[in-house]
Amino acid sequence: MFRIVKKKVLNPSVKLLEIEAPFVARKAEPGQFIILRVSDEGERIPLTIADYDREKGTVTIIFQEVGKTTMLLGALEEGDYILDFVGPLGVPSHLEGIKRAAVVGGGLGTAIAYPQAKKLHSLGAEVDVITGFRNSSLILLEDELKKVSNRLFITTDDGSNGNKGFVTDVLKKLLEEGNKYDLVIAIGPLIMMKMVSQLTKQYGVKTIVSMNPVMIDGTGMCGGCRVTVGGKIKFACVDGPDFDGHEVDFDEAMRRQAMYRVQEKKSLEDHVCRLGGVFNA
Amino acid sequence: MPDMSLEKVKMPEQDPKVRSSNFNEVALGYTEEMALKESQRCLNCKTRPCVSGCPVNVQIPDFIRLIREGDFEGAYNKIKETNNLPAICGRVCPQESQCEKLCVRGKKGEPVGIGRLERFVADWYMANRETRAKAVEKNGKKVAVIGSGPAGLTCAGDLAKKGYDVTIFEAFHVPGGVLMYGIPEFRLPKALVQKEIDTVRSLGVKIMTNMVIGKVLTLEDLKNEGFEAVFIGSGAGLPKFMGIPGENLNGVYSANEFLTRINLMKAYKYPQTDTPVKVTGNVAVVGGGNVAMDAARCAKRLGAKNVYIVYRRSEDEMPARLEEIHHAREEGIVFRLLTNPIRIIGTDDGWVSGMECVEMELGEPDASGRRKPVKKPGSEHILEVGTVIIAIGQSPNPLIKSATPGLKTQEWGGIIAQDETGATNIEGVYAGGDAVTGAATVILAMGAGKKAAKAIDEYLRNKK
């Protein structure tokens, strides 16, 4: 059992939990993830490590309430326990030797991009951070990101923060202006990572994306998380989750993500029904 | 006088028509009368060939004699002297190729039902006695066991009995390894597996779940934490795919994923549980081993109308136990033998709609000694299925190897370990079970765990 030491609501559907998990905290690195389970009948879901504190022995996760498991997780309070919490899994991001980077986060992906930006910044790299949200009420980690970036650009789809557009618009402008990056890191919805990768390919800038497919064990055992990269089958849990964005077959990844959509919706509806709520799909 | 009937006392089973739609155990076990009657068939012969066929050396004629005398508790204790997991072995051991194969009674008629008797004794004990471990004087030496499958549990149990302070590190949220995620409920009830594991715990073995060794701790870390020896029993958890087009379509599963969802995550109870599994009306399972039979029988129970076993050789070459093949047939699984998939076909939005296969014929024997299947020209045909489960084998999981650069492995991933001791090339590090051999049986893994426990004991006693 793993105790929740801190809870923070970041926006209406995104929450942060800091969890006591000393073994995980000891080894965690940016780019890695954990798998958790909240109840005996529950599923195992992967979540990226958003932060860690080796001294306190805690690991921070940030998640959006999109399904039954994340809703159950979001309902837990400080002092409550998470049943199972295993990690750190996956290969850490290779960030050494990077002098100039653009870190691009879409929506919740911003939370996952934060530790990468932080690490790059601590290694002395010049870091531009570009994040995008649907509207200004959803903006995440603005203060934290300011501290670890040289420039921070925040866009909203509806322009409610005064900067209407997509992250790709900003990145394109920066590249057109002649900004040279050793590395672009893109983390967010598959469609956003695909668009960023298509853009950077034209400019020949190396691009790393973080894949988050359906997983069970997270140790290479089930193969459910397979992704085609450069024409070869890779397992996101052990070969990734970071992959070369120019090599990933995003269209296949998007199809595979839909595999359990019907069941996921049913689990959520049943759960909301039991809570006595009303579900609007 | 021994009972000289040529056949074993039959074990009651659930009717195939009923059981093919539930996950309850298929075989129901002997009653006391049946066990007493079957025990009379043992000649208690002097040569005891059965014992030499048992990888963990169970003193078979002795425990059967105790059953005959009505001393079921004594029979249980006799088995437990060398076997930490009798309720499991009595169910999933391939007795027909081990102890029962060598039974004198098998020369004329059926051998003694050793497996059925072992199961009876273990079940009787669980139902009638509390498990109490004898207090063992601790020697204060710490041993780490990686993996809580049959190899790890056996090694840990044996070492604890010798006084070692043993901790098992398990990657999943429950211990048991393949006994939990692989073998289905209807062949090996999970509550029973947990009860057997409790008997290992009662010896003083600690089990830490959610610990992926190679990630959360390395072998080096374990050494620094004071573990003087390590046993690696991490199993064969890396699924093989065929390398044919269409394997990433929605509806294609590795047998590992399919079975893990159903067994470990209990997807057969969905939506009471949260993990789903998708089974369509027509299902193809590729492969001919026990895992393929398990996957096919699970698919049937989840409502598939037609389940095909697609296997490229003939039934004679099938690695699955005869009993499993027989059970699968009884439940209506269709065998498409001498058939090999060449492509999985999908719909525009990425779901499986069929599998193209070719017919095969058997040619000359290959390296495995089995006749090599050769393609029949012009025999391409399409099997209309919406789910494909690939059960063509598993390799050892590479996580520990990748975190332990010095550890020597075979090219295909198996850890190199000495046959008799399980010693690897690193001092104090032992390995056994599927992590060494590639996918094999529960009992062979237990045998390897046992040998390693003995070797670890010798190593630590001789270490100054």
User: Given a cut of 70, is residue A275 above it in pLDDT?
Assistant: no
User: Residues of B near A (CB-CB distance < 8 A)?
Assistant: 171-173, 181, 209-212, 215-217, 237-239, 241, 247-248, 250-251, 253-254, 256-257, 260-261, 264-266, 269-276, 278, 349-350, 397-399
Question: What is the architecture of the domain spanning A100-210?
Answer: 3-Layer(aba) Sandwich (3.40)
Task: Give B256's contacts in chain A (Cβ within 8 Å).
Answer: 221-223
Q: Does A256 touch chain B (CB under 8 A)?
A: yes
Element at B195 (helix H, strand E)? helix B190-201
Please report the number of interchain residue pairs, chain A to chain B, with beta-carbon separation below 8 angstroms: 119
pLDDT tens digits, one per residue of A71-107:
999 999 999 999 999 999 999 998 999 999 999 999 9
Contacts with B76 (C-beta within 8 Å, 6 or more apart), sequence order: B63, B86, B121, B122, B124, B125, B129
CA pair distance B317, A229, nearest whole angstrom: 36
Is A223 in contact with B215 (Cβ distance < 8 A)?
A: no
Q: Which amino acid would we find at residue B194?
A: Q
Pairing mode, strands B394-395 and B238-239: antiparallel
Contact A43 B350 (CB under 8 A): no
**Mean pLDDT confidence for A269-276:** 73
Q: What is the pLDDT along chain B (464 residues), one digit of tens a residue?
A: 788 899 999 999 999 999 999 999 999 999 999 999 999 999 999 999 999 999 999 999 999 999 999 999 999 999 999 998 999 999 999 999 999 999 999 999 999 999 999 999 999 999 998 877 777 889 999 999 999 999 999 999 999 999 999 999 999 999 999 999 999 999 999 999 999 999 999 999 999 999 999 999 999 999 999 999 999 999 998 899 999 999 999 999 999 999 999 999 999 999 899 999 999 999 999 999 999 999 999 999 999 999 999 999 999 889 999 989 999 999 999 999 999 999 999 999 999 999 999 999 988 888 878 888 899 999 999 999 999 999 999 889 888 998 998 999 999 999 999 999 999 999 999 999 999 999 889 999 999 999 999 999 999 999 86
Furthest-apart CA pair in chain B: how many Å? 71
Over the stretch A22-81, which tens digit does the pLDDT of each residue have? 999 999 999 999 999 999 999 999 999 999 999 999 999 999 998 899 999 999 999 999
Mean pLDDT of A210-220: 92
Collect all residues of chain B within an 8 Å Cβ-Cβ radius of residue A226.
Answer: 248
Instruction: State the pLDDT confidence band at A270, using cuts at 50, 70 and 90.
Output: confident
Do the domains spanning A2-89 and A100-210 agree at the CATH topology level?
Answer: no
pLDDT tens for A134-181 read 999 999 999 999 999 999 999 999 999 989 999 999 999 999 999 999
- List Cα–Cα distances, B463 to B155, B219, B224, B228, B280, in angstroms: 19, 19, 17, 10, 58
H or E element that contains B293: helix B290-301
Answer whether residue A279 shows pLDDT above 70.
Answer: no
Nearest to A225 by CA among B21, B368, B257, B232: B257
pLDDT digits (tens, 9 = 90+) for A2-11: 999 999 999 8
pLDDT of A280 reads: 40
Of all residues in chain A, the one with the smallest CA distance to B178 is: A221
Residue-wise pLDDT tens digits, A231-266: 999 999 999 999 999 999 999 999 998 888 888 888
Taking a contact as any Cβ pair under 8 Å apart, which residues of chain A between 193 and 222 contact chain B? Answer: 216-222
> Are B241 and A233 within 8 A, CB to CB?
yes
Q: How far is B201 from chain A (nearest CA, A)?
A: 19
Domain assignments of chain A as residue spans, ordered by start:
2-89, 100-210
pLDDT at A278: 46
Residues of chain B neighbouring A87 (CB-CB closer than 8 A): 212, 215-216
Asked if A24 reaches chain B (Cβ–Cβ under 8 Å), the answer is: yes
A72 touches chain B (CB under 8 A): no
A131 CA to centre of own chain = 12
Q: Which residues of B touch A223 (CB under 8 A)?
A: 239, 241, 254, 256-257
What is the reported pLDDT for A273?
73
User: What is the CATH class of A2-89?
Assistant: mainly beta
